[in-house]
Amino acid sequence: MANFIPYGRQSISVADVEAVCEALTSDFLTQGPIVGQFEQAVAQLSGCQFGVAANSATSALHVACLALGIGSEDIVWTTPNTFIASANCAVYCGAKVDFVDIDPQTYNLCTVQLAEKLMRAKTENRLPKVVIPVHFAGHPCDMRAIYELSKHYGFSVIEDASHAIGAKYKGTPVGNRYSDICIFSFHPVKVMTSAEGGMAVTNNEALADHMRLLINQGITKSKRDFDTRSPGDWYYEQQTLGFNYRMTELQAALGLSQLNRLDSFIKRRRELVQRYYQLLSGLPIQLPGEADYAYSSWHLFPIVLNEALTEQRAAIYQYLREHNIGTQVHYIPVHTQPFYKQMGFSWGQFPVAEEYYARTLSLPLFPELSDTDQEYVVQTLKDAIDKAFIL
């Protein structure tokens, strides 16, 4: 039987190891020069002027919300089909969270439902201050439509591009045009990794400065920002309440090295996706697609079982697991988590996301997945579906 095949995993090269070792034996383990280099490289890649590194995308989302002025009077909207962090970042700020249901084709926040919900919210005086679209599975949201609504209704946009570094929307990298801030995650399961880590990119210098302040305890050492005249070079000022959300030099060194490999990672992911299209054709499942405006980074390959198989999803998951294949379900709709139910949310509120959740499974997809292992995954899935129909 094959070795365990997870749904996603990192790819670490000799060059990656060497980069981390070099950082480890340098003068700085944190707050050295590599973090800045990594920030510039990611900003450049996404066509943004500024990059602010953090110890996770969750931290980056938090400081992005704070920099945009989110507080306890405010409302933030996101998609229910996401990792909980896309919503929690607003809760950290004391804001009220609400959700917009998803598009049944892309599984991203539905821009038609967004437009309708905004119209209603306006008449009820409950407009969001920030909307956080998520480029689910690496497939960009229709950012132009979201941008136009943001101008019309006066809200800010944070792109949660945790799945989508290297993805393109209408031919340009996600994050540089239709939002205020864009967030990437470098968790090992994502498209590229810094072990733990995240990054906010923006073209707004004031937002970048504010996020930088918040990530490092609210402290500035820059004379031009001081409230009072500097009494000496030891001096620094805490100007706001910040956090220790700093990325280390080791993480930045790994991230910077991985960035050199990003194109090849995405190329291999896209190759595997084309192979899945061929290998899986004719099965009673819906395959994830790519809209004409999208170039996906393919973080995930979420299939949707036909309705007749809804009740068999758990059995299929289990069968694959018993055959050493780790699939995952992305995502349990955020509003159905007990923490969100306590806020008054319930099943039934976002039916498209709930219906999708009931029948989805993410198949293994990562650069080092071999053709043979992928064929084994497909054959085992076919067996599981055959068995499910007999049950």
Ligand X SMILES: *Cc1c(COP(=O)(O)O)cnc(C)c1O
Which residues are tagged catalytic?
190
Q: Which of 34, 57, 141, 294 binds ligand X (CB under 6 A)?
A: 57
The answer to whether residue 78 forms part of the interface with ligand X (CB under 6 A) is no
Q: Rule CB under 6 A: say whether 82 interacts with ligand X.
A: yes
In the bound complex, what is the minimum distance in angstroms from residue 85's beta carbon to ligand X? 4
- Tell me the C-alpha distance between 178 and 26, whole Å: 39
Sheet of strand 360-363, all strands in order from the earlier edge strand to the far edge: 285-286, 301-305, 360-363
- Establish how many alpha carbons lie within 13 A of residue 327's alpha carbon, considering only the half-sphere containing its beta carbon: 29
Q: Does 297 bind ligand X (CB under 6 A)?
A: no
Contact flag: residue 198 with ligand X (CB under 6 A):
yes
Q: What is the DSSP letter of 134?
A: B
Bond preceding residue 245 cis, omega within 30 of 0:
no
- For ligand X, the closer CB: 117 or 187: 187
Binding of residue 139 to ligand X (CB under 6 A): no
- Binding of ligand X by 9 (CB under 6 A): no
Does 56 participate in binding ligand X (rule CB under 6 A)?
Answer: yes
- Please report how close the Cβ of residue 308 comes to ligand X at its closest, in angstroms: 30
Q: What share of the chain is helix, strand, coil (3-state, %, to 5)?
A: 40, 15, 40
Number of residues that bind ligand X (CB under 6 A): 14
**Segment near ligand X (CB under 6 A); pick from 145-153, 155-163, 289-297, 371-379:** 155-163
Give the residue with the Cβ less far from ligand X, 70 or 388: 70
Pairing mode, strands 181-185 and 198-202: antiparallel
- 62 touches ligand X (CB under 6 A): no
Q: What is the DSSP letter of 46?
A: T
Return the number of the residue (160 or 180) whose C-beta is nearest ligand X. Answer: 160
Sheet with 96-99: strands ordered across? 50-54, 198-202, 181-185, 156-160, 130-132, 75-78, 96-99
Binding flag, residue 162, ligand X (CB under 6 A): yes
Nearer to ligand X, 81 or 257 (CB): 81
For residue 160, state whether it binds ligand X (rule: CB under 6 A).
yes
Residue 247 beta carbon to ligand X: minimum distance, rounded to whole angstroms: 11
- Residue span binding ligand X (CB under 6 A) among the ranges 12-20, 159-167, 223-231, 277-285: 159-167
Is 58 one of the binding residues for ligand X (CB under 6 A)? yes
Among 314, 312, 320, residue whose Cα is nearest residue 4: 320
Alpha helices in 234-293 (DSSP H): 249-259, 262-279
DSSP 383: H
Pairing of the two strands 172-173 and 130-132: unpaired
Burial of residue 91, with CB atoms counted within 10 A of its CB: 0-12 exposed, 13-18 middle, 19 or more buried: middle
Q: What does residue 253 show for φ and ψ, rounded to 5 degrees?
A: -65, -40
Find the binder of ligand X among 83, 295, 298, 319 (CB under 6 A): 83
185 part of the interface to ligand X, by CB under 6 A: yes
Residue 122: Cβ within 10 Å count: 13
53 binds ligand X (CB under 6 A): no
Using only C-alpha atoms, what is the Rg of the chain?
A: 22
Least CB distance to ligand X at residue 58 (A): 3
Q: Which two tokens stand for residue 223?
A: 């004379």
Which of 9, 129, 139, 163 lies at the binding interface for ligand X (CB under 6 A)? Answer: 163
Residue nearer to ligand X on the CB measure, 247 or 304: 247
Whose Cβ is closer to ligand X: residue 140's or residue 323's?
140
Q: Give the separation between CA 131 and CA 133, rounded to whole angstroms.
A: 6
Nearest residue (CB) to ligand X, 38 versus 83 = 83
134 counts as binding ligand X under rule CB under 6 A? yes
User: What residues make contact with ligand X under the rule CB under 6 A?
Assistant: 56-58, 82-83, 85-86, 134, 160, 162-163, 185, 187, 198
